[in-house]
């Protein structure tokens, strides 16, 4: 087996492989920069026997940002031209084929999180950390005014049940439909435009909530499916009815004047 030696070379002298199929976006390069700052340049760049990079393009980009004049390298001059081409691909693809033991990974990540270690330094983004419940805001502090928790609303009957006519205003929609019917457009286009005109119906969500609270179970279920009221935020989002924003919380807050933004 060929014995490998580490040699420090000037970063400016290293040549990227012309047909490197692996890309490095700004976010990933920033992660590499943070990693080198934290751990040092611990993974040598692999060269083809001269100064062409076979593996380590992203690390070189990070080194240039950090102003590192030299980096550790290893020459793979014993490889044939075909092997060098294959290795550029294999170095990246073989790493992607590995899997995580999620139970062990979770324990390791949580142990680092418990001591306040920045988990983004090891390459995990916020979405990935969310799978392990590691990027949630602590809600135990009652003085903390910020929260990512959304409470499902409760509906209690108040006063008399509103009349159906009180729940919405369709005057603009009806005027538009009348204009569409009077037009000389093809029938299919009319049908499409009349369906779209329903977007101009204005709903009174406070009265709808009270109507829901007074209604039968069958009516309530149909109102939920129509997203006129929200009982399960996750289900509503999955069904594409509502964009989850802070406005949703405000909608169900007693002092709120905001409206839910419907997904159009």
Q: Looking at the structure, tell me whether residues 186 and 226 fall in a common domain.
A: yes
Kindly state whether residue 156 falls inside one of the protein's structural domains.
Answer: no
Q: Taking the alpha carbons of 164, 167, 172, 176 in that order, is the dihedral positive or negative?
A: negative
Above pLDDT 90, what percent of the chain?
Answer: 29
Kindly state whether residue 155 falls inside one of the protein's structural domains.
Answer: no
CA torsion, ordered 42, 45, 49, 54, to nearest 10 deg = 140
Q: Looking at the structure, tell me whether residues 115 and 180 fall in a common domain.
A: no
Kindly state whether residue 259 falls inside one of the protein's structural domains.
Answer: no
Quote the CA–CA distance of 164 and 211 in Å, as a whole number. Answer: 8
The parent domain of residue 128 ranges over 101-136
In the chain the first and final C-alpha atoms are separated, in Å, by 64
Overall number of domains in the chain = 3
In sequence order, which residues have a C-beta less than 8 Å from that of residue 122 and are 6 or more positions away?
A: 35, 112
Distances 216 to 162, 165, 223, 225, 232 between C-alpha atoms, Å: 14, 18, 11, 14, 19
Kindly state whether residue 23 falls inside one of the protein's structural domains.
Answer: yes
Q: Looking at the structure, tell me whether residues 220 and 242 fall in a common domain.
A: yes
Q: Looking at the structure, tell me whether residues 228 and 247 fall in a common domain.
A: yes
Look up the CATH number of the domain holding residue 59: 3.90.1530.10
Kindly indicate the confidence band of residue 136, based on its pLDDT and cuts at 50, 70 and 90.
very low
Where is mean pLDDT largest: 71-75, 98-102, 136-140, 233-237? 71-75
- Flag the least confident range among 1-10, 32-41, 231-240: 231-240
Q: Looking at the structure, tell me whether residues 88 and 107 fall in a common domain.
A: no
Q: Where are the alpha helices (DSSP H) in 46-170?
A: 57-66, 81-96, 102-114, 126-130
Kindly state whether residue 40 falls inside one of the protein's structural domains.
Answer: yes
Please give the average per-residue pLDDT across 187-206, as a whole number.
Answer: 86
Q: Looking at the structure, tell me whether residues 41 and 110 fall in a common domain.
A: no
Please give the average per-residue pLDDT across 162-185, as a whole number.
Answer: 91
pLDDT for residue 252 is more than 90: no
- pTM exceeds cut of 0.95: no
Q: Looking at the structure, tell me whether residues 40 and 23 fall in a common domain.
A: yes
Kindly indicate the confidence band of residue 264, based on its pLDDT and cuts at 50, 70 and 90.
very low
């Amino acid at each position: 087996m060929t014995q490998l030696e580490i040699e420090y070379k000037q970063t400016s002298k290293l040549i990227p492989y012309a047909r490197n199929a692996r890309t490095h976006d700004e976010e990933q390069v920033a992660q590499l920069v943070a990693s080198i700052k934290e751990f040092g340049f611990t993974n040598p760049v692999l060269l083809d026997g001269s100064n062409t990079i076979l593996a380590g393009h992203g690390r070189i980009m990070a080194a240039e940002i950090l102003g590192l004049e030299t980096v550790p390298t290893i020459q793979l001059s014993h490889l044939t031209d075909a092997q060098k081409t294959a290795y550029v691909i294999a170095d990246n693809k073989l790493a992607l084929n590995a899997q995580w033991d999620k139970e062990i990974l979770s324990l390791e990540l949580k142990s680092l999180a418990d001591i306040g270690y920045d988990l983004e330094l090891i390459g995990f983004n916020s979405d990935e950390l969310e799978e392990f419940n590691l990027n949630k805001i602590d809600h135990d502090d009652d003085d903390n005014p910020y929260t990512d928790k959304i409470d499902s609303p409760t509906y209690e009957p108040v006063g008399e049940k509103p009349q159906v006519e009180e729940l919405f205003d369709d005057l603009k929609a009806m005027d538009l439909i009348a204009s569409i019917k009077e037009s000389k457009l093809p029938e299919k286009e009319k049908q499409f435009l009349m369906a779209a005109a329903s977007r101009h119906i204005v709903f009174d969500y406070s009265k709808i909530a009270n109507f829901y609270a007074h209604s039968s179970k069958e009516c309530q279920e149909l109102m939920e499916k129509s997203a006129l009221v929200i009982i399960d935020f996750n289900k509503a989002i999955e069904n594409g009815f509502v964009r989850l924003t802070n406005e949703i919380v405000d909608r169900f807050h007693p002092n709120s004047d905001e409206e839910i933004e419907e997904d159009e």
